[in-house]
Each structure stands twice: as C-alpha cells, then as structure tokens.
Amino acid sequence: MTPLLDVRNIAKRYGARIGCADVSFDLYPGEVMGIVGESGSGKSTLLNCLAGHLEPDAGEVLFDTRAEGPRDTVTMSEPERRMLARTDWAFVHQNARDGLRMGVSAGGNVGERLMAVGARHYGQIREQALDWLERVEIAPDRIDDRPSAFSGGMQQRLQIARNLVTGPRLVFMDEPTGGLDVSVQARLLDLLRGLVRQMGLSAIIVTHDLAVVRLLADRLMVMKSGRVVETGLTDQVLDDPQHAYTQLLVSSVLQV
Amino acid sequence: MTDLNQYNFAYLDEQTKRMIRRALLKALAIPGYQVPFASREMPMPYGWGTGGVQVSAACLTPEDRFKVIDQGADDTTNAVSIRKFFERTAGVETTERTAEATVIQTRHRIPEEPLGEGQILVYQVPIPEPLRFLEPRETETRKMHALEEYGLMHVKLYEDIARHGKIATSYAYPVKVQGRYVMDPSPIPKFDNPKMEMAAIQLFGAGREQRIYAVPPYTSVVSLDFEDHPFEASKVDQPCALCGAGDTYLDEVIMDDEGGRMFVCSDTDYCATRRAEGHLGALGVPAEDSAA
Ligand SMILES: [Zn+2]
C-alpha cells in the first residue's frame, strides 16, 4: 500500500536556529498522526512545511496524488500546490479567524471550496452547506449569519465544516482546540472524533494538548527542539513513554 | 486653462503616450488582464476619470472625432469638461452622435447604438479589481488572477442571492473575458454587459489605481452566474417616455414636486435620434419642439 504522505528528512532553519530537522514519517490513508511538543518544539514549523505554507530547506514531502501518484509537494509548482490546497488538502487553523472569511455568511464560507472547484448551482451549494452546518452542530437558521456573530466554538466548527465539505484526502490541523474554554474543547473533540471515524479522515494534528491526541490520533510523534524524540502508537507512547522528555510531558499532564 | 494650448498634442508628452500605448497593446494582447501603468497627474480630479482621459489622450489622432458620455449623457459637467479639454489640447473635432465618433470616452454606460469596427470605446474605471470586495490583499488577488482561482467571485454572487433572494448586483457586474480573466466592466449597468461582445475596441483606464485593461473586438465576454440563477440583463420594464424605445436602459426622472416621474433613455443621443426619426413615447414631443 502506498502511503498517502511520505515525509523524508524535512529540515527548516531560521538563520542559525533549527526550526525542525531530520523529520521523516509515513501516513497511511485513514490514519491520524498526532505531533506533540511544547511551543518552540518545531511542531508548527513542521506542519507548515508539510502543508506548503513554508518552504523547507531540505527534504521531500511525497503526497500520493490522484492523477500521478506520489509527487514531491516541495518541488511541485505553486499553482499545483495551491490546487492541492483547495481540493485534496484542508487546513484547520488554531484561530478560526485565520481560516474563515469573516465578512462572508456561514453558508458562503462553507460553499467557497465547492465554488472554487466549479460548483455553479446555488441550490445545491446551499443544500451542502446546510448539511455541513448540521454535521458540525450549527443550527440551519444561522446559515446567513456572519461568523463574527458566532461564539469561538461555533467559529471553529464552521471552519471545520468549510474545510471538510469537499471531502479532502488529507487534513492538517494546527491546535484545533487551542484558545477555547475547556467545556467547548470537549464538545469540539467529540465532534472531531465523530467526523474522523465517519469519514475515515487522514489527518495530521499538531497540539500541545495530550488529551487531543489521546482521543484523535492513531500514532504519535513527540518533538523537542526541532527533532522527533519518540514515535509510536498513541496509547503506547502515552502509557509507557520511553524518552525522558515524553515522560515529562505525560507527567505534567497528569499533574494538571 | 488658457495655457493648455502650450502643451503637447492631447496634453500628455509623447514619451508618456508611448508608455500608455505599450500598456494598451499589452492589454489588448491579454484580454481582461490588468496592466500596471505609471498614471500621470492630470489637470482634473481623480473622480473625473483621469484614467480614461489618459487612455483617450494616448489614442487620439488629429483626424479623430471625439465623444464623451457620462451616464449616457453628453451634457453633464464632467462630459462637457473632458470634451472641452481635448478640443483645446488636441484640437480634435467633437460630436454627440455615437455613429460619427471614432473615439468615445464613457463613464457608466455603453451607447445603445451598436459600435462598429474602427471605433474605440474608452471606459473610466474607479476600481479595476473585481476580487477586491472579498480579498483586499493585492499580492493575493494578482496570484488568484494568475492561477485562475476565481471561486471567490461566485462567493460574492452567492452572498447576493443569500441576502436578497437573487443576484442583486446591478452595476459593475463581473465578467469572464475570452474564457480566461475575470474583469470588472466598470460601473456600467448589467443591462450593458451583453453589448461588450462588440466590433469596436474597448479600453479601460483606472487613474488612481494605475491600471489599464482591454477587450479586443469580437472577444467573448460572459457574465458570471449560477445555473439556477442565470444572468439577466435586466432593466425597468417600461418603454422610454420620450421616444417609446422598449429595449434601452432607462433613467428615472422626477418631473415635478408632486412626485411625478418618468423613465427616459439614459443614452441622450440615442433618444434624440429616435425622436428625430419620428418615434414618440407617451410623454414625448416631436423632435423639432425639443430641439433646445
Ligand atoms: Zn428614449
């Protein structure tokens, strides 16, 4: 079986400082990979390199494209990469405002990706938007409201709907529950877990919150100072951490 | 204004005109693509169509006959000023007759009478970027044009329908040119959009924003829409009160203090020509009586 994503020796420096270095891993269809670490561990840099937002200094990111099989997204042309970004990929930002159009209605936000790939039937676009609002537990009568009128949790759910509406094959998530109240986080996590299971999503989730990966991730990579210090099945890593840093991370969660 | 006579033909120096002509040729070669140009200060405010004036200046030759319309009318302050400007600086003949003009500068309308080969229509453009409404970043809109990422235009139309039940955009209605670039046709009424597939050359000048774009003759110009909300070149469902024309774009005119109103052709030359030919609307008077 061809991996959906085959990451080889990704490195990114900021001057003398290491953003991330020597990161390699595979992601198979239907798998969710969690990347954990403290802020400054390089996990966000890595995610941005994988999603094409940052150009790595070295390494390959081979994505199994529909048409041509594995292609290195680092060296492909910008138009091809942007095409992937609005079709087969999705990116959920920590701050919903970065991932939504605040001046556009909820329906327009969800419909944008559909229209970007050629949907030209208003009634059908609206129907799909309604369906997705329902799936992320937003009342249908909010479809014409702007996200600025939504709570933080609703905005994040809207961002998820907007990203998943075209059935992306790979979803990047950057701290999807960050900045939300604990009770709101719990609801969002339940929702995400449901969607991941129903849709068989392949995803890479970056977070500092071990509860998030415990619920969502099949496998885990622990990063420290730009490098991966431990990888394995999520339960294995969390229940029996081998690296001293992972042990510290896990115990600090237990203390909370 | 008297010392305008000391300026070069059509006010601009030859080097500037060459620069603008190069931009125009590039614009014609890539229909609908916005070409940057170094807009010059003109002796009039930006709102008066300095972009259009510079394009006209670069196109005019001493043999041309020049017409200026503002919302369809030849006699507004704006139209009269621009016409006088070129009478003085270029000494070209001017006319109010669409058929007789070789260069027509316009704000907000396309003449009703079909334009032919050999004519140039110059549009004054306030905001050339059709994507500006939803994407304020210039670097990003350029990329979207380059990569043909136009989904956002339909988001704008979607929002229209969601809010108003139909596409309420009635001016500056976005079009796709020759199947490639999405273009703002300037604030003409959408009634005029179908006319943009024409035999004449169409040039667009945005002075403040320093952009020129063009539609060559016989180029396809398609108004964006949805399958279930097709584009409609709508107008008021009435004939012109003066000439009786049923197929022209109408302006609403208040007649008296009691709120009396009538709808008349916005294209004053077209309306007058029809009346001269004997066409009469409900409130019209024969042409010789209204000659003043
Ligand atoms: Zn009339």
Characterize A203-237 residue by residue with b for buried, 16 or more Cβ atoms within 10 angstroms of its Cβ, and e for exposed: bbbbbbbbbbbbbbbbbbbbbbebbbbbbbebeeb
Q: pLDDT tens digits for A189-216? A: 999 999 999 999 999 999 999 999 999 9
- Using a CB cutoff of 5 Å, list residues around ligand 1, an ion: B 240, 242-243, 245, 265, 271
Chain B touched by A113 (CB under 8 Å): yes
Nearest residue to A124 (alpha-carbon basis) of B227, B83, B125: B227
The tokens for B189 are 């009424």
Looking at the complex, report in whole angstroms how far the Cα of residue A47 sits from the nearest Cα belonging to chain B: 22
Angle at A185 between CA A182 and CA A186, to 5 degrees: 90
| Residues of B annotated as catalytic (active site), given as ranges | 32, 240, 243, 265, 271
d(C-alpha A58, C-alpha A60), whole Å: 7
Question: pLDDT grade, residue B227 (50/70/90)?
Answer: very high
Q: DSSP per residue over B16-68, as a string? A: HHHHHHHHHHHHHHSTT--EE--PPP-SS-GGGTHHHHHHHHHH--TT-EEEE
Looking at the complex, report in whole angstroms how far the Cα of residue A129 sits from the nearest Cα belonging to chain B: 12
Strand partners, A174: A206
Q: Return the residue of A nearest to B145 by Cα.
A: A79
Asked if A112 lies within 8 A of B151 by C-beta distance, the reply is: yes
pLDDT at residue A254 in the model:
45
- Residue A152: enclosing H or E segment and its boundaries? helix A152-164
Chain B touched by A108 (CB under 8 Å): yes
Looking at the complex, report in whole angstroms how far the Cα of residue A217 sits from the nearest Cα belonging to chain B: 33
Cα(B124) to centroid of ligand 1, in Å? 24
**In the 8-state DSSP scheme, what is residue B212?**
E
The sheet with strand B201-206 has its strands ordered as B35-36, B211-215, B201-206, B120-124, B103-107, B65-70, B93-94
Nearest residue to B66 (alpha-carbon basis) of B89, B107, B100: B100
% of chain B with per-residue pLDDT over 90: 85
pLDDT at residue B47 in the model:
77
Section A50-67 average pLDDT: 96
Q: pLDDT tens digits for B67-92? A: 999 999 999 999 999 999 999 999 99
Residue B143: its chain A contacts at CB < 8 A? 82
Q: Residue holding tokens 């001293």?
A: A244
pLDDT at residue B46 in the model:
72
Burial of B134 (0-12, 13-18, 19+ CB in 10 A): middle
How many residue pairs from chains A and B have C-beta atoms closer than 8 A?
59
Section A176-198 average pLDDT: 91
| Residue in B134, B151, B228 closest to A122 by CB | B228
What is the phi/psi pair of residue B131, to 5°? -90, -5
Mean pLDDT score of chain B: 93
Q: Return the residue of B nearest to A112 by Cα.
A: B155
Strand partners, A220: A34, A232
What is the phi/psi pair of residue B286, to 5°? -55, 150
d(C-alpha A136, C-alpha A195), whole Å: 9
pLDDT value at B39 more than 50: yes
Asked if B162 lies within 8 A of A82 by C-beta distance, the reply is: no
d(C-alpha B50, C-alpha B40), whole Å: 8
Q: Residue holding tokens 């115990």?
A: A251
Predicted TM-score (pTM) of the model is 0.89
On whether the CB atoms of residues A81 and A50 are closer than 8 A, the answer is no
Asked if B149 lies within 8 A of A116 by C-beta distance, the reply is: yes
Looking at the complex, report in whole angstroms how far the Cα of residue B162 sits from the nearest Cα belonging to chain A: 7
The tokens for B4 are 């305008």
pLDDT value at A67 more than 80: yes
Q: pLDDT tens digits for B92-121? A: 999 999 999 999 999 999 999 999 999 999
| Residue in A86, A123, A144 closest to B163 by CB | A144
Cα(B203) to centroid of ligand 1, in Å? 27
3 state DSSP class of A90: strand
Q: Which of A82, A120, A121 to mutate to test the interface with B (most CBs of B within 10 A)?
A: A120
Length of chain A: 256
**In the 8-state DSSP scheme, what is residue A142?**
G
Burial of A69 (0-12, 13-18, 19+ CB in 10 A): exposed
Q: Return the residue of A nearest to B166 by Cα.
A: A122
Section B187-191 average pLDDT: 97
Q: Which of B158, B169, B176, B222 to mutate to test the interface with A (most CBs of A within 10 A)?
A: B158
pLDDT value at A56 more than 60: yes
Asked if B162 lies within 8 A of A79 by C-beta distance, the reply is: no
Q: pLDDT tens digits for A121-169? A: 999 999 999 999 999 999 999 999 999 999 999 999 999 999 999 999 9
A252 CB-side CA count, 13 A: 11
Chain B touched by A117 (CB under 8 Å): yes
d(C-alpha A146, C-alpha A153), whole Å: 14
Residue B242 one-letter amino acid: L
d(C-alpha B127, C-alpha A150), whole Å: 32
d(C-alpha B285, C-alpha B275), whole Å: 8
d(C-alpha A43, C-alpha B11), whole Å: 61
pLDDT value at B52 more than 90: yes
Q: DSSP per residue over B149-164, as a string? A: --HHHHHHHHHHHHHH
Angle at A196 between CA A194 and CA A200, to 5 degrees: 125
